[in-house]
Amino acid sequence: MNDKEHDLANQWTKTCDEVCETMKGHTRPFIAPLSRATSEGVFLQGTGTYISIRDQRLLLTCEHVASAGPLNHCSYGSKNVESATRNFVDSKSLDVAFTTLDQQDWNAKAHQAEAVSFDRFADQHQIADRSELIFIHGFAGENSTYGFDTLVTNASAYVSQQKEDVVADEKIFEVFWEPNKSMVTQATTDQ
């Protein structure tokens, strides 16, 4: 690698690092860990996203997460775990489900969670330019433990790009992933 290529690689790494950290801070209030309780304990089931349509708050997740049974969510900035008491509505053709949240409960509880306004969503995903970065933020099972009657989970954030050689499909998009070349951001800690 010559000096110019080395400088470009360093700038690319710095840009990805900055985007990941900035987006992690921006999106953290919108996401919530979703858990379920069984006789064996409490388990992380996946990630939910709070969205707002007009004055209604919704909890959005994947259908395969919602179908696991009654779910609980914990809003950013709160130690209280809330039950998603209403049934999830799912799409049979897409891996998506949502439930409504009680507005009075949302306003009555102390938290720092926010809901993404529905007008920020695109009508459909469009294949990205190779230079466009894709950011993913959520709660992964490997970052979750249960002990002493407490579920501890940390969100993971990823920056990648869309694969160039994908077939356009309105139901999926493929993210470029080379695990042996992945890096952690400078702000990443072991905790």
Q: Domain 3-181: what homologous superfamily? A: Trypsin-like serine proteases (2.40.10.10)
Task: Find the mean pLDDT for residues 102-129.
Answer: 87
Output the pLDDT for position 187.
74
Helices (H), 54-116: 63-66, 103-108
Task: Find the mean pLDDT for residues 32-52.
Answer: 91
For 77: left if phi > 0, alpha if psi spans -120 to 50, otherwise beta; the answer is left
Evaluate whether 22 touches 86 at the Cβ level (below 8 Å): no
Environment class of 134 (CB within 10 Å of its CB; exposed 0-12, middle 13-18, buried 19+):
middle
Between 43 and 142, the more confident residue is 43
For the chain, the domains span 3-181
Cα–Cα nearest to 125, from 92, 177, 170:
170
Kindly report the pTM of this predicted structure. Answer: 0.86
User: Is 154 a residue whose pLDDT tops 70?
Assistant: yes
User: Is 161 a residue whose pLDDT tops 90?
Assistant: no
| Amino acid identity at 123 | D
Output the pLDDT for position 38.
84
DSSP structure string for 116-170: EEGGGS-SS--PPPTT--EEEEEEEEEEEEEETTEEEEEEEEEEE-B-TTPPP-T
Q: What is the pLDDT of the chain when averaged over all its residues?
A: 85
